Amino acid sequence: MTFTHSRMVYLSDTDAAGVVYFATGLQMCHEAYEASLDSVGISLQQFLAEGKIAIPIVHAAIDFLRPLHCGDKLQINLITTRLKDSEFAIAYQIVSVSEPNKVLVKANTRHVCIDPQARTRIELPDAIAQWLDKI
């Protein structure tokens, strides 16, 4: 199953050349990730306040196939894959709302669940495992 997040490119998302900077492209993908968690009832505020686990991104890659400009209306599609009991990956595709079959950006992130105190891998919590199954 795919989760889709809609977003417009704002002037503040662009660099001096008038296009989206690579780090901003990853930020847009992360927004879609956060929205997908919220869509299944996972509160990041509560999750972070508990402080029992952390799920850092350990790898990120992004490829711009076409530039993104101020005013572009986008859909960010994401697909999750469980890699291990403590690890998952997300594949993103950013497409134009007006041309949904034209992929503008592809990105990937890999996440590892850890105990933030010991800095060791731990199993993904049930809520995240259920999110992986739904998305």
For CA atoms 52, 121, 84, 28, give the dihedral sign.
positive
In the chain the beta strands, taken as DSSP E runs, fall at 3-8, 57-64, 73-84, 87-96, 103-112, 114-115, 120-121
Active site residues: 15
Question: Which CATH number is 3-134's, of 2.60.40.1290, 3.40.50.2300, 3.10.129.10, 1.20.140.10?
Answer: 3.10.129.10
Q: What residue spans define the domains of the chain?
A: 3-134
Each residue's pLDDT, cut to its tens digit, for the chain (135 residues) gives: 689 999 999 999 999 999 999 999 999 999 999 999 999 999 988 888 888 899 999 999 999 999 999 999 999 999 999 999 999 999 999 999 999 899 999 999 999 999 999 999 999 999 999 999 888
User: pLDDT by residue (tens digit) across 24-61?
Assistant: 999 999 999 999 999 999 998 888 888 889 999 999 99
Distance CA 44, CA 48 (A): 6
